[in-house]
Structure formats: C-alpha cells, structure tokens
Amino acid sequence: MVSVHFLSCLSFLSALCFQTGMKMLFVVPRGMKKMVDYLKERYDNMPIFVTENGYSSKTEQNERVENLLQDEDRIKFHKAYLAALAGMGQMYVDISYGP
C-alpha cells in the first residue's frame, strides 16, 4: 500500500528534478549546491574535487546501440550539474574536477 504522503512527496520531487533508470534515484542539481555550501562553511573553503558523477539510464535488455548513443537524459544530467557547479564558482568556492 502506498501512502498519500509518499505520493505527494513524489509529485513534489518530480517538479524539482527528474528520475533516473533506478526508480529511487533522482537528478537533483540543487542538492549538490547545498552539499558544497555545507562543505565550504564546515571546512573553511578547502578545495573540493568532484571525482565521480554518474547517471543510471533507462535501458531495455536488448537495446540497440544506435538508441543508446542518443542519450538525451544523460546529456540533460551533465548539463544540469555542470550549470550548478558553474554557479558555485561564482560564490568563491574552490571546485575542481578530476578522475
């Protein structure tokens, strides 16, 4: 049984973010901003390195390679997080990206 509260939370989340291929994971770029704000304050603006980011796509078992290459959701994911990171750089946060 699914509660009304749970459904209202899902509708609230869908307005702020979008769902990945794993039904419990959402793309929420503003969450990264909140985390970076916290780390900046807590650790006196130490350099922050983004070492991994990934996206769980919605694929079928026998998906054609041509379809996998047209991955608009992954592009949307990276654009959203990079835009969030770019905005944080303007707030004097020392952010780098690496392997």
Tens of pLDDT, residue by residue over 20-76, are 877 777 788 888 888 888 888 898 888 877 776 677 777 777 778 777 777 788 888
Domain count, the chain: 1
Report whether 73 contacts 57 (CB < 8 A).
yes
In the chain, the amino acid numbered 56 is: S
Q: Please give the model's pTM, rounded to 2 decimal places.
A: 0.63
Task: Residue 30: give the domain boundaries.
Answer: 4-97
**Which residues are marked as active site?**
52
Give the pLDDT score at 3. Answer: 40
Give the pairing type, strands 48-50 and 95-97: parallel
Give the pLDDT score at 2. Answer: 41
Using 50, 70 and 90 to split pLDDT, how confident is the model at 6?
very low
Rounded CA-CA distance 99/89 in Å is 19
